[in-house]
Structure 1
């Protein structure tokens, strides 16, 4: 399957289940945006980005784990209740937050070495969240298995990731240029909208994850 086919199928799924994904993830995305604005107001816009990262770690694992569980359930033909998905996401939060923190540190270290190493690390770790949520891997085992699964597929994965992210980055950049003033209701709405649209990337990567899981046996690294 070509990257275009992956993006096309993912967009179809995202549009078809938009209302369910909105109900599941948007409230947490809005809470995340509100929390980041409060933190920015307290520490100042020139404060350390660590504050934003820590704030994101409170919410990102919850709505992302819930979305991954939803994607898996719908792929199997089930329609789980939103509260059940969120309850499972809460139970997964400690391990997911640890995985997200470890991945963020590795990617930032890579970015500090002229960007390209960070891009390589990001691509190699794209399946770690799905392995943790759906296969019950520990954070380290999920990262190790993600490295193995992505072996030989770097450009295919990168094309899919950039195909999903570049338009979203462009929208985010454009909204920041048109409405540059932070800390107001409009910026909150835009941040929430951009944060929600970024969830499309999770749908794309889930599609890739399922394709690669069907082709290769999972190693025993749990």
Structure 2
């Protein structure tokens, strides 16, 4: 899979993709992430990418020209399955969207800034809009990093144990069950006997029941879906 990211501040994305799972995935050739500086496509001497909004009002808007030129240039060499704009008013990101995007080959993510991007770019280029929650960040880079990390770990071969992602929270609309590791008795706090008995069927049943109960208690809205 290949993901290109258009950013005004590429340095914000250097760390998230240079460590841990995503770093290993890139080294294995399973996953490619390219962060592209939008200012490289500005035609002004000052590398300007924003301007005042028509009609007045506080806040700047990301201009059409740099974005359109960047997307047009990238599309000469790459056909994108989705052109995604990170924006607070997009669809709320969840595990189902992550699962669907992990099956794609090529994605382009646009990181918004200021008051957002010119509406004409949204109308004529963007195919998908994503929000990571009902709050506003100073830019779309951190939100893009969240989306990329969530997608990347689902790609076959990225995780050491490929079945691990299948039992994450929100798969099948359930929260993950409690997990334990050694020692079996810590300060008198003991691991449930069923996990120590060595019966895989009973362990599976216990985990399923725990997932259901935890979801009922903490996120009953998931069960409504």
Instruction: Output the TM-score relative to the length of structure 2.
Output: 0.28
Greater RCO, 1 or 2 (C-alpha within 8 Å, sep 6+): 1
Return the index of the structure with the highest Cα Rg. 2
Q: Which has the higher strand share?
A: 2
Instruction: Output the TM-score relative to the length of structure 1.
Output: 0.28
